[in-house]
Structure 1
Amino acid sequence: MDLLRKLPRSFYDRETVAVACDLLGARLVHQIDGVERVARIVEVEAYLGEVDLAAHSSKGRTPRTVILFGPPGFAYVYLIYGIYCCMNIVTEREGNACAVLLRALEPVRNVEGRTCGPGLLCRAMGIDRRQNGHDLLSDDFFVAERPVGETVQVVSRPRIGVDYSGVWAGKLLRFYIAGNAFVSKP
């Protein structure tokens, strides 16, 4: 069984692409009703603040995006299509409005359902808008570091579903573990 060592705030308070790549292989942990759900992060996308036209923060600070402008290491959870929740992790210093979207997880323990897609992984992990603004240094919802000795080969590709964002659509800001069966299919 993995030893779950929680990532410190300093992990998130770094350049977003570095955080995104370093999240690969880390474990997302969510305790619900005494059950600890654990999954390995296998795919992410980086969003680079107000200049990134694919980022929610590109429209500036709003009631919806205020979490993105806050300190690093907090969950930004929002609803898409009126059905699915998606989870981002806020990165960089306060005010930068950068984040990493979790795109796919590999189940490790007590995770049922599909996890290859941001909405599906939130459903399988029991993540909803109640976790918006949640401090990921808490004891019931956090990211644990990649196990010692585990290495990952990182692949970078354009993000999925951001064709509206002009030149930002082609930037290589989607990262995943090479050969992992749980990576989403564009």
Structure 2
Amino acid sequence: MQTDHSPVTRTFFERPLLICARDMLGCQLTWGRTAGIIVETEAYAEYGDEAAHTFMRSSARTFVDQQPPGALYIYLNYGVHWLLNFLTKGADSRGFVLVRALQPVLGLDVMRQRRHLEQDKMLCSGPGKLTQALGITARWHGKDFFSIPGVTLTRNADRPVIAVDRRVGITKSAEFEWRFMIADSEYVSLKKGKPASDR
């Protein structure tokens, strides 16, 4: 997967949630000395999604109201792993895109040291794994992605073939097929899925 190096701007996240979640696939996320191609995402909607933080937490609803598109929503999952989410604010669809997996492309030695692993396919094959590999913590929660030095998101040159599936580890609103992945990627967290329909 090659990127064309055109940077994603704030308008990218001013579109409907599910479109953002799909279009992030194939983009390169660069974080300091490390980078990876996004191969898996999940979408969490502001309304009608019982699995979303906005359903349970007033602080998350306030975050959506007050923060700009592209703001980072980072939280600790089960007291162990930091999870990286991007805020999307389309005209009629707002929510968070969780970055679930990356294909490492830059700074692999740094990632191996942080993850204490040598298997490249395992470095970023999960949302908690990739934040550890890239060194992402709560330090950046609430920050505007576009204001962080040394951090970029660049578009993919070719649209990847996308597969969809139900989200992982969800017991509420479990019927939503809001997990998106590059169909032939060996770096996703789980390889289930079916071809995505056209928009």
Q: Give the TM-score, by structure 1 length.
A: 0.86
Q: Does 1:54 align with 2:51?
A: yes
Give, in angstroms, the shift of residue 94 of structure 1. Answer: 8.7
Seq. identity, %: 31
One-letter identity of the residue aligned with 2:162: V
Q: Does 1:152 align with 2:148?
A: no
Structure 2, unmatched stretches of 5+, are 113-122, 193-199
- CA distances 1:133-160 after superposition (whole Å, capped 9, x unpaired): 12121332232211x2x23000010000
Q: Give the TM-score, by structure 2 length.
A: 0.81
Q: Which residue of 1 aligns with 2:63?
A: 67
CA contact (8 A) 1:71 1:93 kept: no
Q: Which runs of 4+ in 1 moved over 6 A?
A: none
Structure 1, unmatched stretches of 5+, are none
Q: How does 1:70-89 map to 2 (within 5 A)?
A: 70-89=67-86
- Work out the CA distance in 2 between the residues paired with 1:174 and 1:154: 10
- CA distances 1:23-64 after superposition (whole Å, capped 9, x unpaired): 000011111xxxx211100000011113210101112422x6
From the superposition, tell whether residues 94 and 79 of structure 1 become closer, same or farther in structure 2 (CA, over 3 Å). farther
CA contact (8 A) 1:38 1:110 kept: yes
Match of 2:152 among 136, 142, 152: 142
CA contact (8 A) 2:16 2:93 kept: no
Q: Does 1:115 align with 2:124?
A: yes
CA contact (8 A) 1:67 1:74 kept: no
- Work out the CA distance in 1 between the residues paired with 2:28 and 2:15: 19
CA contact (8 A) 2:16 2:92 kept: no
One-letter identity of the residue aligned with 2:130: L
Q: CA RMSD in A?
A: 2.1
One-letter identity of the residue aligned with 1:15: P
How many corresponding residue pairs?
Answer: 176
